[in-house]
Structure 1
Amino acid sequence: MPRSAPALAAGLLCLGLVGCALASTRPPTTYDLVAPRSFAGTKKPAAWQLVVYEPTAVHALETDRLMVRPTADQVSYYKGIVWSDRLPRLVQARMIETFQNSGAVKAVSASNGQYALATELRSFQIDVSSGRAAAEVEIFARLINVSSGKVVATKGFSARVPATTDSPGDAVAALNQAFTEVLQDTTAWVASRRV
């Protein structure tokens, strides 16, 4: 019994130190993406319903972390910074919101539609390889007839927006601007399809 008391005390002390260490670590700063609300020359909505699938992405983008590219072939992440959700799911949610805001199609959802927007998230990062920070967003889109499974149209969309600095706040602002450009172009393209 007496021998176990020091061991127990040591164990409790270790737990206390771990608890203190965990309590002192700050939670990550969380950022969100914003869906555009204004659209130039919005036409009559397409008369069909659209389902927006969650984008596919490589493993490096299949995360809630904010990617930075120090060189063309290297991937890193901002420390202590996260998105409000896993990036592909967040992009899907903002795409749906964008279509709802634009009125480009009769109806839009994540589950039902006559046509589907299947996208591939190819880039969503801050590139610092040139010595100057810039947001890069690239999405490849396929419009699919749900009943036949036939791809009726494909197109790639991309935007590059310089960031004021490579600080997290400036990086997110530039990414939101680039993402807005890509979403507006994607929405206009889908709405123009008379399928």
Structure 2
Amino acid sequence: MSTEHRTARFKLNIGLRGALAALIFIGLTACSILPKTEPVTFYRLPSAEVIRSATARPLALTVRIKQPDSNGLLAGNRIAVIPTTNQLSAYQGARWATSVPVLFRDQVLDAWRQSGLIAHVINDSQSLSADRELTGSLNAFQSEYRQGQPRVVIQFDAQWLDPNSRTLLASRRFDVTEPAANSNVPAVVAAFGVAQARLSQQLLEWVLAMPAR
């Protein structure tokens, strides 16, 4: 091999080593500047015991509870908060274990089953016939700060339907608020559980008080 060839090969090897070193440096630099993944804690909605009235009239019907209509943050699994007027945000590093509409539906369904006052309670993922349906719009499911203190606000526009005739039998707006013990996320989640249980109870009492049809 001539001297010229050896020199050219030596320069080529140096160039390749330099390029490789540059790629490694760029990769290490990129790794150091990329934001770290934020740790996320997932929360279930705490359940609460439903108070069964001794005078309540049991409902001998099959009732389907549907996911409520919702939008924006309330359609996902972020835990919504309004820190100041008209500023909708979400708690960092915290999520509901499932979407808010499913969370709402499942808690109502569990509370109604627990009460034993309705013969059969099913959800909208079950392809079974039902005598009545509970549906509606979830307008609020968040914590709001008032004078520096958080409180949970849930607002639900309920509709009570006959699914066979597609007839709206009754409708009503339900508003529930519950103060949180402090501003920590676990305390806020606990307040959500109390507020949702109260709303489920109110919905059940509303349904049971309707005239039989």
Q: TM-score, normalization: structure 1?
A: 0.87
**For 2:141, which of 106, 124, 146 is the aligned residue?**
124
Give ranges in structure 2 of 5+ residues lacking alignment.
Answer: 1-15
Q: Counterpart of 1:6? A: 21
The alignment status of 1:91 with 2:108, answered yes or no, reads no
SS in 2 for 1:133: strand
Which residue identity does 1:186 align to in structure 2?
L
Per-residue Cα deviation, 1:99-119 (whole angstroms, up to 9, x for no partner): 111122111111331111002
Which residue identity does 1:119 align to in structure 2?
G
- Contact kept, 8 Å, 1:36 with 1:184, in 2: the verdict is no
Q: State the structure with more CA Rg.
A: 2
Q: How many residues align?
A: 192
Q: Counterpart of 2:174? A: 157
Q: TM-score, normalization: structure 2?
A: 0.80
Instruction: Identify which range, 34-43 or 116-125, moves more after superposition.
Output: 34-43
Q: Counterpart of 1:144? A: 161
How far is the alpha carbon of 1:52 from its aligned partner?
0.7
Aligned equivalents of 1:131, 1:12: Cα separation in 2: 45
**For 1:31, which of 43, 50, 55 is the aligned residue?**
43
How far is the alpha carbon of 1:70 from its aligned partner?
1.9
How far is the alpha carbon of 1:7 from its aligned partner?
4.5
Percent of paired sites with the same residue: 23
Give ranges in structure 1 of 5+ residues lacking alignment.
Answer: none
SS in 2 for 1:121: strand
Instruction: Please tell me the root mean square deviation across aligned C-alpha atoms, in Å.
Output: 2.1
Seen in structure 2, the aligned counterparts of structure 1 residues 10 and 71 have a Cα distance that, compared at 3 Å, is: same
Instruction: Identify which range, 134-143 or 110-119, moves more after superposition.
Output: 110-119
Q: Counterpart of 2:197? A: 180
How far is the alpha carbon of 1:16 from its aligned partner?
5.1
Per-residue Cα deviation, 1:124-150 (whole angstroms, up to 9, x for no partner): 111114322211111111000001111
Which residue identity does 2:43 align to in structure 1?
Y
The alignment status of 1:40 with 2:52, answered yes or no, reads yes
Aligned equivalents of 2:26, 2:88: Cα separation in 1: 40
SS in 2 for 1:57: coil
Aligned equivalents of 1:110, 1:11: Cα separation in 2: 53
Per-residue Cα deviation, 1:26-69 (whole angstroms, up to 9, x for no partner): 52112111333332315342111111110111212112111111
Seen in structure 2, the aligned counterparts of structure 1 residues 162 and 147 have a Cα distance that, compared at 3 Å, is: same
Q: Counterpart of 1:67? A: 80
Instruction: Identify which range, 103-112 or 73-82, moves more after superposition.
Output: 103-112
